Chain A
């Protein structure tokens, strides 16, 4: 009797755990399947793509979709534009957000609290509500159909998040570390470069990943602001596979796969730097 009484709650616990695991697997499948479908479709010949019985694995993989995509008009233009926009957004947002976060975290000035609140607040305004007024404003400034205009737009969306994140990281670094460096003989700037900056690495990486993804993957703004085909970014270029006569699925999926690659590569490059808890051991016993 007692044995049953003991094992019952344990087996129930195990059952519950298995249930959660099954749910997690289901969610994973739902998330991963579109990606899988995109990649496999990119390798399928045209008749396989359009066949009524779905092909879950490309039995006769071809590379023609990729060559078609790459030879599609304006591909290299789009690659160049996307790279320019993304790299400028990443660099500028890092520099600006870092300085802004520094001011918010380390200095006290009049209006600091409202500023912090506003930073959070602006992120809650939906993009759809902003896009028309922004378009009007930018066209008055003659910044429509220019990469610089899009860069400014992306920065306005990347900065609040970046400032907020970096401020959190900065607050996590005890002020005694800088003070100690200053007493030890460093200038304020020296303490900042030698002590604060290395400790902020994870924050800077997280912020740059965010800015990269935002700038690389953005569609609506780029679509609305960039009219000339030569000036379009990759995401807008992808849309060009959908024409009045239908969608060219093979090259579209090949193009989409190619577009996803840089984000993955960038993430793999910097993810090792996301070592949270780097300040462990700085203070206290």
Chain B
């Protein structure tokens, strides 16, 4: 086991804008770190640089005590699982699993012992004689995993290994990979574009955008205290509700639509008279009865029943966030609905409501918004303003 460390790592392809910019990241021994971000954010490039499949333009990557910048992939003692598995089609499952051992001149008996052990653990024991074409998607995925495990490498690198599986199998393999990683305690760097995968699997999650690392933290911290609008909008499903508001009364009040919200202890004195971005997680948008906080009147647009709960789209009067460049494109909330004259500038709030509430589209509704649960962001830079102490409040409110 070894740690992986990026120090000021930059990757530039042929003089264009860098794919990875000044990346500093440390994956501790036995730690599971997930690199996540929208496609083209540089996460795969970062991973491939660790594997040695991509040259490092600037900076330094260390695996254990060794700087690996100039080492060939085979000298780095890492194993990689590819998005498309990259099984050798002309070799049997056994040969696929044993390939890395053979390359490293492990004695034949030892090879056999290790391959059979892994095959047993992964439920591939009956398939050692088959070729990849004769396996199902899940089995191929397992062979790809097995090929990495059997080597007993210093670290695992995984490049979206689950994205070719169907939804159900993906959830199952997600848990299986996390379990295997915990059992083996192998340092793992895992790349995905799926924030749910990132949140559920990683000890820590590193969010990247346009080649720049945005934030590295535990999934919970990332969710509760995003450092900027991008992370706030990227992490969480359904995404955080975002809209603009004005800070008034010397920083003690927030005004949007007809609502005037007392900020209490969370004074925004420095932003008095300016516009900021307000964010609130769907589960913190509550039907007014029985909850503290400012009442905001709205109208129900749509109710999506999920069984355990319902997702409610509520239109309220507020100014939609127009800085699309600051948020994750995929997570942009639906635009204001047309044809509602009395709400000149409206925002659709997404709320997770208890399934027992009877709600019908078109109905007027009042939601409670607790100022202590709000996230604030600078409208210019997208940076988070003094963090909301969600944990503490949730404890009180719940």
Residues of A near any B CB (own CB < 8 A) = 174, 176-177, 179-188, 190, 195, 198-199, 278-285
Contact = CB atoms under 8 A, between A and B. Distances in A.
B271 interface: no
Interface in B273-330: none
Given A199-B89, A283-B84, A179 B99 contact: no
Contact of A284 (B51, B79, B80, B164): B164
Interface stretch (B59-67, B133-141, B184-192): B133-141
Interface of B: 51-53, 72-74, 76, 78-80, 82-90, 99-100, 103-104, 131-138, 140-141, 147, 151, 157, 164-165
A285 B164 contact: yes
Contacts of B90: 198-199, 278
B86 to A, nearest CB: 4
B89 A285 contact: no
A176 B84 contact: yes
A278 B53 contact: no
B133 A281 contact: yes
Given A179-B53, A198-B90, A283 B85 contact: yes
A176 B85 CA distance: 8
Contacts of A186: 74, 103
Given A182-B72, A186-B103, A280 B82 contact: no
Contacts of B85: 282-285
Contacts of A283: 82, 84-87
Contact of A183 (B73, B136, B140): B73
28 contacts: A174-B86, A179-B73, A180-B86, A180-B88, A182-B52, A182-B72, A182-B73, A183-B51, A183-B52, A183-B73, A183-B157, A184-B103, A184-B147, A185-B74, A185-B103, A185-B104, A186-B74, A278-B89, A280-B133, A281-B133, A281-B135, A282-B88, A283-B82, A283-B85, A283-B86, A283-B87, A285-B137, A285-B164
A195 B95 CA distance: 12
B156 to A, nearest CB: 11
A182 B104 CA distance: 12
A184 B151 contact: yes
A66 to B, nearest CB: 43
* Residue with the greatest number of chain A CB neighbours at <10 A, chosen from B103, B137, B140, B147: B103
A199 B53 CA distance: 21
Contacts of A185: 74, 100, 103-104
Nearest to B147: A184
B134 A184 contact: no
Given A183-B53, A183-B79, A285 B138 contact: yes
Contacts of A184: 74, 79, 99-100, 103, 147, 151
A14 to B, nearest CB: 36
**Central interface residue in A176, A183, A198, A283, by most chain B CB within 10 Å:** A183
Contacts of A285: 85, 136-138, 140-141, 164-165
Contacts of A284: 84-85, 137, 164
A176 to B, nearest CB: 4
A198 B131 CA distance: 14
B87 A187 contact: no
A284 B138 CA distance: 10
B140 A281 contact: yes
A243 B29 CA distance: 87
A24 B138 CA distance: 45
B167 to A, nearest CB: 13
A183 B78 contact: yes
Contacts of A278: 89-90
A283 to B, nearest CB: 3
B145 to A, nearest CB: 13
A112 to B, nearest CB: 15
A280 B134 CA distance: 9
A177 B78 contact: no
Contacts of A187: 72, 74
Given A281-B132, A281-B140, A285-B140, A181 B88 contact: yes
B222 to A, nearest CB: 29
Given A177-B86, A185-B103, A281 B73 contact: no
Contacts of B151: 184
A182 B71 CA distance: 12
A285 B135 CA distance: 9
B169 to A, nearest CB: 9
Contacts of B82: 176, 179-180, 283
Contacts of B104: 185
B129 to A, nearest CB: 14
Q: Choose among A177, A180, A182 the residue with the greatest number of B CB atoms under 10 Å from its CB.
A: A180
A282 B140 CA distance: 9
The listed residue with most B CB atoms (<10 A of its CB), out of A179, A181, A285, is A285
A279 B89 contact: yes
B200 to A, nearest CB: 21
B283 to A, nearest CB: 34
A281 B164 contact: no
A281 B78 contact: no
